[in-house]
């Protein structure tokens, strides 16, 4: 096992390759010139890219068919372990990353060998497309929900991994979504996920060389995040593979009550998290979780690292009589095709059990609609406040 104190660091540069004949040779030569050992994993290329690099002094592994970037990284990690490398640094074959910046990662590896290091691309200087910026922001938010940690660029392919981590942490994803899953599960396993600032090139050549498919790959990433969030909501902890044992961490926290109180009551208040906290409070406050609303809101907010105070307070909107009465109306309409116009103490109080089925159905249907509506309202309010501040300061 590699430890921070006595581990001998040995780094392998990994280039996943898929139909990048136009960019792979220049990239590989630049990396080799810096003295690194290089492994190229040809992930089922159908062009002559693998033939181009055969003349270079590097190692080439071939997948007979295209299995995905994640599968290529797993193959590389297996080979690295067999050949006694402690770390791999992955760099994309499309030419977007600068080999001259590999040293940024090697320095960070020396500082903390047991960490995953992710490049933070400078989109401002590179003139990145707006879609890439929006995609990155959404991905960053989901990472925060899943781990409680912030990362400025969760989609960068320029990264450093401890080989031991990739071999121990089991990920289901095999394609681009692997890079999402490994950093989330790595954080759960106890590894720091550390950002480093890097440059990035966006031009016609790199755009053509990239094989990221906006719809399909974004869909895969969304599916992966959804599964990770659902896993995070389960009441048992994720397995800690690195760092101090969980029992030791809890014991140390209770030895320092002040630190424990700070940990429990520290809240995040970014605009996106405020919106999600409000939506969670409304959703869970409206659902028919009779007698369990506050417990459910506190649990979900904690697991998803949302602002608990906001979620709990906004849920008071859902208290009787108005929202439950509206749920009964929705349920009654869905069951009978007409509204229950006679809403009074008799129909909603004494006859509540007769309306209980309407309430269950209506609350289940109305809760997500109400939550989305609330999210939109809060978004408009926050956006208006931000615009007002800009006009005032401008």
Among 37-51, 249-263, 321-335, whose mean pLDDT is lowest?
Answer: 249-263
pLDDT at 253 over 50: no
Let me know if 29 is exposed, middle or buried by CB neighbors in 10 A (0-12, 13-18, 19+).
Answer: middle
Average pLDDT, integer, range 253-277: 62
Residue 12 CA: distances (Å) to CA of 9, 18, 100, 290, 315? 10, 19, 15, 56, 52
Query: Residue 266: what pLDDT?
Result: 52
Instruction: Please give the structure tokens belonging to residue 284.
Output: 């869970």
**128 vs 223, residue with greater confidence:** 223
Let me know if 43 is exposed, middle or buried by CB neighbors in 10 A (0-12, 13-18, 19+).
Answer: buried
**98 vs 344, residue with greater confidence:** 98
| pLDDT band (50, 70, 90) for residue 210 | low
Query: Residue 164: what pLDDT?
Result: 93
Query: Residue 247: what pLDDT?
Result: 45
Instruction: Please give the structure tokens belonging to residue 280.
Output: 């969670």
Query: Residue 269: what pLDDT?
Result: 62
**130 vs 326, residue with greater confidence:** 326
Percent of the chain with pLDDT over 90: 50
User: What DSSP string describes 92-131?
Assistant: -TTS-S-GGGHHHHHHHHHH-SSSEEEEEE-HHHHT--HH
| pLDDT band (50, 70, 90) for residue 225 | confident
Let me know if 250 is exposed, middle or buried by CB neighbors in 10 A (0-12, 13-18, 19+).
Answer: exposed
**218 vs 311, residue with greater confidence:** 311
Output the average pLDDT for the chain.
84
Question: Which residues are within 8 A (CB) of 84 and not within 5 positions of it... i.e. 6 or more apart?
Answer: 10
| pLDDT band (50, 70, 90) for residue 305 | confident
Average pLDDT, integer, range 306-320: 89
| pLDDT band (50, 70, 90) for residue 268 | low
Residue range 58-96, pLDDT digits in tens: 999 999 999 999 999 999 999 999 999 999 999 999 889
Average pLDDT, integer, range 288-315: 88
Average pLDDT, integer, range 295-306: 87
Query: Residue 212: what pLDDT?
Result: 62
Question: Which residues are within 8 A (CB) of 142 and not within 5 positions of it... i.e. 6 or more apart?
Answer: 154, 225, 228, 229
Among 159-173, 191-205, 240-254, whose mean pLDDT is lowest?
Answer: 240-254
Instruction: Please give the structure tokens belonging to residue 253.
Output: 């926290």
pLDDT at 186 over 60: yes
- Domains of the chain from N-terminus onward: 11-233 (3.90.550.10), 267-393 (no CATH)
Query: Residue 127: what pLDDT?
Result: 66
pLDDT at 207 over 70: no
Residue range 147-157, pLDDT digits in tens: 988 999 999 99
Is 183:154 a contact under the CB 8 Å cutoff? yes
- β-pair type (37-43, 11-17): parallel
pLDDT at 221 over 60: yes
Query: Residue 37: what pLDDT?
Result: 94
pLDDT at 258 over 60: no
pTM confidence score:
0.74
Query: Residue 167: what pLDDT?
Result: 94
Find the helix or strand (DSSP H, E) in which 201 lies. Answer: none
Residue range 2-24, pLDDT digits in tens: 544 445 899 999 999 999 998 99
């Amino acid at each position: 096992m590699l430890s921070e104190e006595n581990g001998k660091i040995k780094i392998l540069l990994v280039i996943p390759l898929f139909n990048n004949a136009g960019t792979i040779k220049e990239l590989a030569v630049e990396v080799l010139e810096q003295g690194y050992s290089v492994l190229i994993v040809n992930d089922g290329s159908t062009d002559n890219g693998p033939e181009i690099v055969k003349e270079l002094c590097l190692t080439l592994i071939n997948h007979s068919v295209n299995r995905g970037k994640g599968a290529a990284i797993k193959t590389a990690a297996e080979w690295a372990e067999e050949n006694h490398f402690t770390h791999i640094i992955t760099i994309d074959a499309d030419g977007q990353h600068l080999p001259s910046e590999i040293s940024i990662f090697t320095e960070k590896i020396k500082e903390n060998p047991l960490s995953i290091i992710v490049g933070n691309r400078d989109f401002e200087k590179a003139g990145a497309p707006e879609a890439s910026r929006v995609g990155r922001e959404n991905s960053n938010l989901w990472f925060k929900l899943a781990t409680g940690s912030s990362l400025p660029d969760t989609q960068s392919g320029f990264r450093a991994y401890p080989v031991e981590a990739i071999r121990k942490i089991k990920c289901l994803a095999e394609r681009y979504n692997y890079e999402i899953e490994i950093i989330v599960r790595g954080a759960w396993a106890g590894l720091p996920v550390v950002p480093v600032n890097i440059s990035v090139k966006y031009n016609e050549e790199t755009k053509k060389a990239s094989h990221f498919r906006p719809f399909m790959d974004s869909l895969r990433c969304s599916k992966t995040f959804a599964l990770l969030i659902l896993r995070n909501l389960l009441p048992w902890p994720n397995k800690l593979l690195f760092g101090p044992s969980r029992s030791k961490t809890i014991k140390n926290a209770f030895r320092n009550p002040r630190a424990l109180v700070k940990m429990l009551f520290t809240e995040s208040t970014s605009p996106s998290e405020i919106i999600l906290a409000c939506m969670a409070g409304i959703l869970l406050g409206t659902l028919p979780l009779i007698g369990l609303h506050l417990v459910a809101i506190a649990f979900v907010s904690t697991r998803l690292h949302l602002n608990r105070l906001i979620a709990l307070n906004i849920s008071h909107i859902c208290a009787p009589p108005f929202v439950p009465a509206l749920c009964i109306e929705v349920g009654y309409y869905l069951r009978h095709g007409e509204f229950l116009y006679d809403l009074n103490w008799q129909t909603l109080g004494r006859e509540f059990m007769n309306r209980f089925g309407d309430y269950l159905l209506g609350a289940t249907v109305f809760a997500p609609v109400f939550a989305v509506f609330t999210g939109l309202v809060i978004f408009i309010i926050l956006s208006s406040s931000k615009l007002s501040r800009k006009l005032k300061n401008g």
